[in-house]
Structure 1
């Protein structure tokens, strides 16, 4: 089959890889001059989510204060954003959280196998780092995390609950003072350089004959029972709403993996898919002796701090605003507040590790769902599929989701249970 993949981020490139491996002819359309330039560029590094760092559950936004929950909320009078956050809050209840994570876990397991198969087949080096230490400031926070720790045990995820002294022994960059409650060590969990992985995979695909149409924006999908068509335009012309030089390409199927732009392309306007603005700081290592060798995660604030060669990458600080403001530059004061959250997290947990004053900031939109699960699989139209909304908690999910999508396009039963497939469907909204 001829398949068009819309999007050159990790989701689109991973999908193209799986489709190509299944024997399909693939064309990838990307609005930038190269791949991994949107949300993929700002990935914090965590490869796969654990129950401790999915963006839902008892410890996610358990406080209304940004200093405590790590998120900047400026909903104003916009009811849709408030409703979105209320929906997320329902998953703080331990039983609801456990049931939701149980739906996600088969995709996590498939994603782990899929990434391992790619690594084994291609022998890629993308700055992988093993070991994640989740730290908690107060005893109350550790108590709130207990449902997540129970799920680690239930799904046999290797982990150790550590005292503060054991945390300091495991990761020398964590300070003994001020005192904190303890942590959870996940010795097998990994971080890696997502943009580097994406670019390497793109090169493999290009060498294998996959087509890439760069600097092209998709303005519309034209669909019928026999064929799917995609309208392409120059990105600048698209922004100015001009229709000159529109190009039409056709295929047997289309996979939309366009991040925050996905709902509009598949005509799925829903308040349960939300463009969350995320932030990243990339700072040079300040003092080698203070640089962490494990990835340190402030679980309550969802701030991930990881070393990438001679750089320190700090990610998190989501900003919740009305969706109407998503395509506009973030107010300078809000951007400063978000970056301050990241800088403070670095100061609290790995002081002196990075030169934050010389850090390179990044901000961008990441599609996020009100139930914490990605949007993956078929749509109501038999020729359109989706791979999006993986959230900030692990880019490897896009790889497992790509395998699910490729199987569906190939009319093969995916390697996840039916209830998980239904829970991931964009039609659930």
Structure 2
């Protein structure tokens, strides 16, 4: 089959890889000049999410006024945004969290296998390194994470629960004073460079596999009929090409994997999903003092902020800005941007003091799409020729390769490798049940 993939982030490129591996001819359409220029560019680096990393569950703060929240709320949220946060909060109780993570877990396992297969096939070097240390400040927060620890034991995820003193001993950058509740060490879970991984896969697909990439082109609309599917294109400056024959690209199927850009396209095609776009921030700062730089990735579990060394710099990522959707297309206002970067700077000061020269940091922000039940939307949608692979949120890389494999199986008419209850939990029409 001829398949169009809309989106050149890690989700879109992984989808193109799996589709090509399944024997399809693939064309990737991306509005930027190359791959990994959107949300993928600001990824925190964790390859696979654990129960402590997913964007739902007991540590997601209910109140915008909570002092240690890693979420920045714009005052005066509209009713739709408030309802979205309320639905996420419904997954905080231990039983609800456990049931939802059990549905997600097979997708994490599929991603682990898919990433391993890509590494084994091409011997890629994308700055992989092992060791992630989650840290928790207060005793009440430590109680909140117990249901996540129960899941780690249930799924036999290798980890070590540590006291504060043990955390400081293993990771010298973390101060034992002031005292904190404890931490969880994942010796074998890895971080790496997500944009680099995406570019390496793209290079293989384009140069060795014949996958076509169209850059600097924005999809204006999707056409669907019984015999064929097609997309109408524009240049990224909004103008149309004078060569009419290249304005429309047709195929047997279309996969929408364009992150936040997916929502208006799908709505135009008649599919409205209750996903919410949020703006995430990152700081990349020079190392201030070498002796203070971390050798493990340090994650503030409650704030969901990741701090990791990248060569001679420290990268700090997280700090979600939640605001009404009508405002998400605009750059964040200066006060909101300052509030978000201040959350990142404070986490750096708290957990790896002296490691990063925050005053010289390069700031980045980008939009990611979250679902109200914490799971991505993966599968066929609205029409037999239309498929979606969106809503991965901050765990985008950790779910991308697995969801890409599921998409390729569905497009090919094969039995999906994830169990039926997981497949049902990912489908686009689940929100109307």
- Give the TM-score band, short-chain normalised: over 0.9
- Cα offset, 1:363, TM superposition: 0.6
**Cross-structure match for 1:17:** 17
| Cross-structure match for 1:302 | 304
Q: Using a 3 Å threshold, how does the CA distance of structure 1 residues 97 and 46 change in structure 2: closer, same or farther?
A: same
SS of corresponding position for 1:40:
helix
Deviation at 1:61, TM superposition (A): 1.4
Q: Distance in 2 between matches of 1:198 and 1:230?
A: 24
In the TM superposition, residue 75 of structure 1 has moved relative to its aligned partner by 5.1
> Which SS does the other structure have where 1:328 is aligned?
coil
The two structures have a TM-score, normalised by structure 1, of 0.97
Task: Give the CA deviation at 1:335.
Answer: 0.2
| Residue 224 (str. 1) matches residue 243 (str. 2) | no
Over 4 Å off, 4+ runs: 242-246, 268-271
Question: Aligned residue pairs: how many?
Answer: 426
C-alpha distance in structure 2 between counterparts of 1:92 and 1:75, whole Å: 23
2: CA distance, partners of 1:370 / 1:46: 22
2:58 — aligned with what?
A: 58
Of residues 408, 411, 414 in structure 2, which corresponds to 1:412?
Answer: 414
Give 1:284 shift: 1.8
CA distance in 2, matches of 1:420, 1:262: 22
Match of 2:216 in 1: 215
Which residue matches 1:138? 138
Question: Cα offset for 1:244?
Answer: 6.6
Separation in structure 2 between the aligned mates of residue 406 and residue 393 of structure 1, nearest angstrom: 20
Measure the CA separation in 1 of the matches of 2:22 and 2:5.
14
Tell me the equivalent position of 1:8.
8
Tell me, what secondary structure is at the counterpart of 2:365?
strand
1:346 matched to which residue of 2? 348
Show the 5 A alignment for 1:242-257.
Answer: 247-257=247-257
Give the 3 Å change call, closer, same or farther, for CA 77–32 of structure 1 in structure 2. closer
Structure 1 position 290, deviation (Å): 1.2
Q: Is 2:191 aligned against 1:191?
A: yes
Match of 1:322 among 321, 324, 336: 324
Q: CA offset at residue 396 of structure 1?
A: 2.4
The corresponding residue for 2:109 is 109
How many Å separate the matches in 2 of 1:65 and 1:24? 50
Matches within 5 A, 1:9-408: 9-65=9-65, 67-74=67-74, 76-207=76-207, 208-237=209-238, 247-267=247-267, 270=272, 272-408=274-410
* Structure 1 residue 270: Cα displacement: 4.5
SS of the residue 1:113 aligns to: helix
Deviation at 1:275, TM superposition (A): 0.5
CA distance in 1 between partners of 2:75 and 2:405 (Å): 36
SS in 2 for 1:293: coil
Q: Is the 8 A contact 1:276 1:366 kept in 2?
A: yes
> Could you say what secondary structure the match of 1:364 adopts?
strand
Does the 8 Å CA contact 2:10/2:396 hold for their aligned counterparts?
no
Q: Deviations over 1:45-88 (max 9, x none)?
A: 11111111111111111443354111111251510000001001
| 8 Å Cα contact 1:173/1:291 also seen in 2 | yes
Q: Specify every segment of 5 or more residues in structure 1 that has no aligned partner in the other structure, as ranges.
A: none
SS of residue matched to 2:331? coil
- Aligned 8 A contact 2:77 2:324 in 1: no
Per mean C-alpha deviation after superposition, the further-off stretch among 163-172 and 260-269 is 260-269
**5+ long unaligned stretches in structure 2:** none
Flag the 1:228–1:203 CA change in 2: closer, same or farther, 3 A. Answer: same
Using the size of structure 2 for normalisation, the TM-score is 0.96
Q: Secondary structure at the match of 1:406?
A: helix
- Residue 275 of structure 2 contacts residue 369 of structure 2 at CA under 8 Å; is this kept in 1? yes
Distance 2:380 2:273 in 1: 20
Distance 1:33 1:280 in 2: 22
Instruction: State the superposition RMSD in angstroms.
Output: 1.4
SS at structure 2 position matched to 1:266: helix
